[in-house]
Amino acid sequence: MYSQEEPMSEFAEVSQLYLDETVRLHGLGYYSSHPCCAVCEQVVGEEAPAGSGRRRLFRCKDCGVFLQCFECCLARHSSSPLHFLEEWTDGHWRHTTLQSIGLVYQLGHEGFKCKFPDALVRSLTVVHPNGIHEIKYRFCQCRRSDTCNNLQQLHRNGWFPATKTDPDTAVSTQALDLYRLLNVVGNLNARDFITSLERLTDATNSTGMNWLPDTYKAFLRVSRQSSFLQRARRSARAHDPNGLKATKGGELTPRCWPCPHTDRNLAPGWREVDKEYRYLYRLIVALDANFKLKNRIRKNEHDDPSLGPGWGAFVEPRRYKKHLRKYVAEKDISTCIAFAALTQKETRNTAGLRVSGVGGCVCARHECVRPNGMGDLQKGERYANMDYILVSALGDVDLKEYTVSYDIACQWKKHFEARMEKLPKALQRDFSDVLVQCGLPVWHALAHEEECTNENNLSLLPGVGKSDGEGIERLWAILNGIAFQTKEMSLGNRADTMEDKLDSHNFLKNLGQGDALRRRLVVAIAERARQVEAFKEINKTIKPEKRAEWQAQIDRYLEDRSRPNPYLMAVPLDGPSEADIRVKLRMEEQADAANGQAPLHATSATAFLTAGLQLEETQYVSAGIAAKTQLTADRQSKVEEHRIAFFAKLRPFRGLQEVYTPGAIRMLAKDAEARAAAATDTTVPAPAAENIHLWLPSELPAGERTDGCKGNLVEMEARLRESQCTDSLSAIRLALHSKRHLINFRHGNIGGQMRMTRSHSLVDQLGIRVDALANKYRQAREALLVLRGQGYAPHLRKLEKADLRLEGEEGENDTEADRSDRSAARKLRGIGGRPVREVGKSTVLSWIWTAKGALDSEEEELHESLRIEWSRAKARKKRWEEEVELLREEMRRVIRYLEWEVETWGARAAAATARADIMEDARSGLRGYALAQVALHRKLSDHFRGEWSMNINEATTQLTTDVVNFDTLFTTST
């Protein structure tokens, strides 16, 4: 009836029809003229014999809208006590219950007759998805009761009792399953769930006309207990003859299928592989803290422990707290002023809180929480907390290589081995004979000093593929949805609630590996091909002896990180760099504090300005990538990641602006008013990250800059801006040196359309970088002149497009004759001839090449720029090659893990059948559950094989021509 394009616009044509049909349901429908029971087909209502049960007319909301007489209704519902009825009274349908018409439910027989029922009729309130029921029931007293007590009779009927002694409230398994899904998927809390069921039962309940028993507290207890038992059941604790008490730490947390597990999914002989392939069997984890998951101190709170403390994702609390009592404070020695300075690890506001946040450890590539990989924080992000969480999360993993991604890894990794000795003996590990490398997540790395970024950026570390290390941030985004409801909970309830959420998270991540790994492999193969070609192009321009020298430098650096970094420029800058100025400013602030000048905030003014400049740089990067007319999937993902990172950092920055630049807050208010006044359409999207006004001191109007900036902020920004100009000019010259080298090589050595296209692409990439650096210089210079006056720093001249143009490049105003002359010159040069000089034209050397320090080191700068470009291009190629191999190995590991699950659950089914210490019905349940798990994991294995059996051309002919038969992934291993 509806078209697929505009279904809502066509609803108007049938709205009256639909309205009439909804009203019709409030009458007798087809039976209006001659009411009769649809079951026994006897006349019902006033025409039925007096004194007969057929005088009363019912229908069931759950069975359907057909009519039923009293006898049929009672008989049909003897085994369905959780249905709601309506009775036709005074010409309308009135809500009623099975209890009110005399139904007494028989436990122990699923509602059917018992030969020896209990004489006592009891009352019970049952929470069910269709409402809250009050029922009458009897316990069974026949031979069946010999093997089960009253509590077990309730459980075996699918009703979970709220107390173990004379329960007056129970919750059906259907209600528990529904609530758990609504809670872990939609963050619905128990209060809203129960309130919804109360209104579903009786919409007038809130008026007090009709009374319903309060089931909220009972439901809270039961839902926690049921979720805990579900996690235990999935982890096969019911199948262990030693029972729940034998559960080991972290055992209830679902493991990540693609990650390496020594006893489950690694191929035989993996320990003996060559050193160059060891990275395939490396565990890569990400460490971070979340300060939104707080918990308040509550007065007069009763003891409410977690169910199974330490058995899931959270560390065992007693041993954890005992360890932390030894640590009062930690000295934070920072040599890298990063954006993380906004969250000072020892200065978090903890007033009124017993938990200031949560520290966590996840597998960096698949975002699954590690067993015992979560722990509460009491006072900021202290090493004592994070060390304990990390080592607990590694558990009994026995691998040869590990990589840890952490946004303050540059500081945290120092003295880690010494801090290991302070951990409890049971947690201490000897890492002397294994590789442990630490890195910065790729987007957080941008907020660190250049030297720190180039040393620790995850994208430059060997063996990690294209792991970005930011997966834990995506986990925090999921957990933040329950931050409000867990803030006032008891610690035990809070831990159990978060355990359930994390259990669901890991389970869904595992189920999604079939599609996720396939898509990532398609992208990785395409990017690998692109990076290999790009490296070939730049590699051909370098002499073999120089390549060997540079490769030796990389090899030495990878063996010993104290050696010169091949990804950093060795030529010293002329004048202090931006990093040098930041260090000087911070030292000046520390001196002021030592002289009694109280700081305005725990976060220093230098860190505040640094954060603003880093946000500004993130805007440059996003704008530069987004400006490309055609974005690959990888580049589009990078733009979105940059934007997400920007907005995540913007909020704390705005909070600091209230302290340091009140004028900026006033300008933000004016911006909001202007947007509201100009908006003619309420659906206008919010501005993109790159278009957000930061309102640093240099952006403020003169009046606001004078009155709306605290302390020496204006002068501090001016010094940082001047160093930004110096840094940018040096980086521009480096990039132009590389660009000139590639252009000259292309003109003299490359022919053919395909090779010319690849070369153009490489040159264009450098051009994008030059443009981004030029924009940074212009912005810094403009800000500097605003702060210091137009006559300041005459050596920092205006940067025009022509200043960035190299000899041989086309200009915007070039004629066709100019392009023809250049083409002829290239041909002459190609055959060894001498190009004819262009008559009447002269080339003016740009001022950037004559600026202070430029001419003195031009030759050395050229050499360094080429070395850095070559080294980085090789690193990019290597990371994508690793990514392809890692994804293939992860696919193999997923299949091996599922096969291990099939084998293990099969063995449990066989063991359950042979157990003599339990009753036959218990053996049947254990065997049935185990065989269901066998079927599930076998089905998943077959499904994943099917998803991965297509070749890459079939999956995406537009991305790559590299054909891979995924069947080979499961029969071979590296």
Segment 115-159, tens digit of pLDDT: 999 999 999 999 999 999 999 999 999 988 888 899 999 999 999
Residue 185 banded pLDDT, cuts 50, 70, 90: very high
- What are the residues whose beta carbons fall under 8 Å from the beta carbon of 948, sequence distance 6 or more? 514, 517, 518, 891, 966, 969
Residue 648 banded pLDDT, cuts 50, 70, 90: confident
Out of 124-138, 615-629, 813-827, 920-934, which region has the weakest mean confidence (pLDDT)? 813-827
- What are the residues whose beta carbons fall under 8 Å from the beta carbon of 530, sequence distance 6 or more? none
Phi-psi bin for 962: left (phi > 0), alpha (psi -120 to 50), beta? beta
Average pLDDT over residues 841-862: 59
Out of 726-730, 759-763, 890-894, which region has the weakest mean confidence (pLDDT)? 759-763
Out of 236-245, 252-261, 635-644, which region has the weakest mean confidence (pLDDT)? 635-644
Out of 134-148, 417-431, 607-621, 890-904, which region has the weakest mean confidence (pLDDT)? 607-621
Which tens digit of pLDDT belongs to each residue from 322-337?
999 887 666 544 556 4
Residue 766 banded pLDDT, cuts 50, 70, 90: confident
Give the integer Cα–Cα distance in Å for 417 and 544: 41
Average pLDDT over residues 729-738: 81
- What are the residues whose beta carbons fall under 8 Å from the beta carbon of 587, sequence distance 6 or more? none
Tokens 């660190």 correspond to what residue?
448
Reply yes or no on whether the pLDDT at 878 is more than 60.
Answer: yes
Which tens digit of pLDDT belongs to each residue from 559-617?
888 888 888 876 555 566 667 777 777 777 777 776 667 677 777 888 888 888 888 88
Residue 449 banded pLDDT, cuts 50, 70, 90: confident
Residue 749 banded pLDDT, cuts 50, 70, 90: low
Average pLDDT over residues 347-357: 76
What was the pLDDT predicted at 378?
A: 87
SS3 (DSSP) at 441: coil
Average pLDDT over residues 792-805: 87
Give the integer Cα–Cα distance in Å for 962 and 951: 9
How high is the mean pLDDT of the chain? 83
Q: Which residue has the higher pLDDT, 409 or 868?
A: 409
Pairing, β 169-172 against β 353-355 = unpaired
Domain extent listing, the chain: 23-102, 106-234, 279-511, 514-563+877-974, 572-835+843-856
| CB distance 256 to 368 below 8 Å | yes
The percent of residues above 70 in pLDDT, for the chain, comes to 82
What was the pLDDT predicted at 828?
A: 43
Reply yes or no on whether the pLDDT at 931 is more than 50.
Answer: yes
| CB distance 237 to 168 below 8 Å | no
Residue 446 dihedral angles phi and psi, to the nearest 5°: -65, -20
Give the integer Cα–Cα distance in Å for 723 and 717: 10
Q: Is the dihedral of CA 276, 280, 282, 287 positive or negative?
A: positive
Name the pTM for this structure: 0.79
Reply yes or no on whether the pLDDT at 920 is more than 50.
Answer: yes
SS3 (DSSP) at 128: strand
CA distance to 142, 334, 338, 591, 785, per residue, from 584 (Å): 87, 14, 15, 11, 22
- What is the torsion angle, in degrees rounded to the nearest 10, for the CA atoms of residue 366, residue 367, residue 373 and residue 374? -170
Which tens digit of pLDDT belongs to each residue from 481-518?
999 999 999 999 999 999 999 999 999 999 999 999 99
Tokens 């071979």 correspond to what residue?
972
SS3 (DSSP) at 89: strand
What was the pLDDT predicted at 126?
A: 97
Which tens digit of pLDDT belongs to each residue from 465-484?
999 999 899 999 999 999 99
Reply yes or no on whether the pLDDT at 629 is more than 70.
Answer: no
Residue 843 banded pLDDT, cuts 50, 70, 90: very low
Reply yes or no on whether the pLDDT at 838 is more than 50.
Answer: no
Reply yes or no on whether the pLDDT at 815 is more than 90.
Answer: no
Residue type at position 247:
T
Reply yes or no on whether the pLDDT at 343 is more than 50.
Answer: no
Reply yes or no on whether the pLDDT at 960 is more than 60.
Answer: no
Tokens of 125: 């309130």
| CB distance 381 to 287 below 8 Å | no
What was the pLDDT predicted at 347?
A: 46
H or E element that contains 179: helix 173-186
Reply yes or no on whether the pLDDT at 346 is more than 70.
Answer: no
Residue 13 banded pLDDT, cuts 50, 70, 90: confident
- In the chain, the N- to C-terminal Cα span, in Å, equals 57
Reply yes or no on whether the pLDDT at 964 is more than 50.
Answer: no
Reply yes or no on whether the pLDDT at 957 is more than 80.
Answer: no
| CB distance 379 to 349 below 8 Å | no
What was the pLDDT predicted at 696?
A: 92
What was the pLDDT predicted at 972?
A: 38
